[in-house]
Every structure is written in C-alpha cells, then in structure tokens.
Amino acid sequence: MNTPSIYLDTNATTTLHPRVLEGMEQLLADHELGNPSSLHGAGRRSRKLIEEARENLAALLDVDTLEIFFTSGGTESNNIAITSLAPRFRSLWVSSVEHSSVREPARALWKEGFPGGEIAVDERGQIGEIPPKEDLDGALVSIQWVNNETGAIQDLRRLCTELSEQGAVVHSDGAQGFFRLGDTIPQLGVDAATITAHKSFGPQGVGALWMRRGIIARPLFTGGSQERKVRPGTENLVAIHGLGILARIAREEPLWPSDSLTRKSTLVRNQLGEIAGARILSPVESCFPNCINVTFEGVIAETLLVRLDLEGIFASSGSACSSGAREPSHVLRALGCADSEVRGAIRLSFAPDTTDDALLRATSRISAIVRDLRSCHVDRR
C-alpha cells in the first residue's frame, strides 16, 4: 500500500473548501449565464452574481462595495497598488520583506528616479522605527500583513496609526492575512489592501484590491469599463462567485482555528528542535501558526526538498512565485540570516486538517534525510 502524501505548502495554495467547490460546480453547469457586461437576461444574471460576491466580501471586510475591485489575484492587485498608485504620491516606501509582486514594481519605480526606499525589519521580521516625517509626508507606504515565507505578522494597527500621523497613505498586501486573521479593514486602519482567495480554500486566479474612497488608481491597461475601469476585461465569473462564497463562509466559521493551529505548530517546532543544527527562523510570537521556516546547517534546501518530494512530502523553500529563481530569499536576508542559513532553509506550512500523524511522519523523515545528506557530504570529503 502506498503511503499517502503529506502536503505542507499551504502558504503557496490550498485545496478548495467543499462549499466553494460545490457552488462553482453548480455555476459551471448553468449554461444560461452570459457575459456580465451584456444587457440581456443572461448577462444580468451573471452581473447579479458578481455583485453578490462583492457584497459578501465587503461584509467580511466591513467596507463599501464601491471600494472593491476584483482582479486575477494578489500579484495583480499589488501591481495595481504600486505601479498605478505610487506616481500620485511624493515617494514610495515598502518593507524589506515584501512579496516580489510589491518589491519588484517598487524597485522599477526607484530605478526610474522615483523617491523612496525600503523600511528595515529586525531579526523577527518586525518593523520597528519608521522613516522620518520629511520622508513620509505625502508618501505611499506598502507593508505586508502576514509574511508568506516566515509567517511573521506585522502590527498593522500600530504602524498605520504612526504612518498616518506622519502624512502617509498605507497599502497592505493581505494575501496571507485576510480570511486567516479576523481583523476588518477599519480595525487595521489601512487605506488600500490586497486580497486573494487561494491562500484560504478559495479558487486560484481571483482576488481583489480594496481602495478607500477618494484614492484613484490609473489602470495598468485599458480597453474595457469592467470594475469601473480599474481592472478592465471580462470578469472571471466562476472564480469571483467562489470568492464570494468563501467570504460568506468566513463570516460563519473560522477557516483557520487558532488553538488547533498553535498546538500543531508547537508539535512541529518541538520535533524540529531535536534535529542537530536546525534553527527555526519563524518567530514564536507574532507569527501565524501554520507556517514554520527552518534552516539546517550543512544542508542545501533544494536537495532536501527533492528528497522529500520523492517520499510524497511536499514543502517549499519560500515564495511559490519565485521558487524558480536562483537568487537567495530576500526575506531571510532581511532578517540578518547568513547566506549558508538562507541556502539551507525550507518552509513548512500546513492546514487545520493536517493530522498530527502526518506532521510527525514529515518531521521524522526530515530528520532522517538531513542526517543522510550530512553523512554523504562528509563521505565525499
């Protein structure tokens, strides 16, 4: 009998919630739906479904429906927020641990001479001091809520208060935060936010950008009036419908129960802590408990991940969007990790229904493979 695989890459994507899957399948089976921009009955039915999804998401976030713009996901939302919004401000500042979909468009603007820079974090991935008022007055600042590689959670409430007092407008990449943490947008105090579905049991290829009324984004491309011209193009009706169902579910039940996840996190941390030369890089405090980034002395992460994959254990070395890149993780470097630690780091991220047995089997195999890799290295020498 084959041993079932163990999926430890939920920060990259998750499986569909059964109710989301059911709702999307029912919609796909409806052959009388039309283009949401069409004025006939089939088009109006499609438009109604999109607006119902917008209402569900707005209710979850506690915002106005007119402030929500559907997109293809977190990367597009972040690019609109940075590339389209920043030129309307005096400068652009982002944290040093941002996702590449924030970091790369920001760097492109800086390269063209636009003012701004990175805001440093400490070894826990937390922002301490913010830039002085002369830099922040009239600036756009982008701060990720929950880091995708380490799980570190920024204190957005404090930061938004401090930044707004200095005259800054704040965007947050909430791809790993919304649907996982319970704060609404008014509670956080941000001015714009990125939302995506597939990090929390929704469909891939859909997300949203929320912008406080009065903030105007120039579209990345033109040619349609959809989403009030902020994101033109025929809407992904089935995926948006799935996102709306997910938002409704999230108001009814916790998708990521904290107590269960914290217990599982403690179990994994304890097991990893028994491996010689292992160092956990995810902070204990202010960390979303499903994510543990750990580095192993004398081990190359890619080799370890290949060995795990051959045994049906699926993990990663960081962001799925940059997993093919050869450049070491900028997030771990920003924490002050040495290059050798960055090269040996893997990310384990699990779901609420990941069993204790699966976690114990995975950590046991990690321990055995790490010992084997080290012995092979010694033998070659």
Length of the chain: 381
CA distances from 328 to 141, 252, 323, 331, 332 (A): 25, 40, 10, 9, 8
Are the C-beta atoms of 129 and 162 separated by less than 8 Å?
no
Sign of the C-alpha dihedral computed for residues 37, 38, 39 and 43 taken in this order: negative
Task: Give the separation between CA 360 and CA 272, rounded to whole angstroms.
Answer: 10
Give me the amino acid identity at 153: I
Task: Give the separation between CA 173 and CA 98, rounded to whole angstroms.
Answer: 8
Write out the H or E segment, with its range, that includes residue 27.
helix 18-28
Residue 224: pLDDT band with limits 50, 70, 90: confident
Q: Go through the domains of the chain in sequence order and give each one's CATH number.
A: 6-14+256-380 (3.90.1150.10), 18-252 (3.40.640.10)
Are the C-beta atoms of 319 and 99 separated by less than 8 Å?
yes
3-state secondary structure of 247: helix
Q: For position 377, what pLDDT does the model report?
A: 59
| 83 token code pair | 């590339």
Write out the H or E segment, with its range, that includes residue 335.
none
Q: Give catalytic residue positions.
A: 321
Question: Nearest 5°: phi and psi at 142?
Answer: -115, 125
Place of tokens 């010689």: 276
Considering only CA atoms, which of 2, 3, 14, 12 is closest in space to residue 354?
Answer: 14
Q: For position 228, what pLDDT does the model report?
A: 82
Does this model's pTM top 0.85? My answer is yes
DSSP assigned state of 322:
G
Mean pLDDT value across residues 145-160: 97
Task: Give the separation between CA 328 and CA 310, rounded to whole angstroms.
Answer: 23
Q: For position 327, what pLDDT does the model report?
A: 72
Q: For position 113, what pLDDT does the model report?
A: 97
Q: For position 318, what pLDDT does the model report?
A: 66
Q: What are the residues whose beta carbons fall under 8 Å from the beta carbon of 372, sequence distance 6 or more?
A: 307
Task: Give the separation between CA 219 and CA 230, rounded to whole angstroms.
Answer: 5
Report whether pLDDT(381) > 60: no
State pLDDT tens for residues 302-356: 999 999 999 999 999 865 555 455 578 999 999 999 999 999 999 999 999 999 9
State pLDDT tens for residues 91-130: 999 999 999 999 999 999 999 999 999 999 999 999 989 9
Pairing, β 207-211 against β 192-196: antiparallel
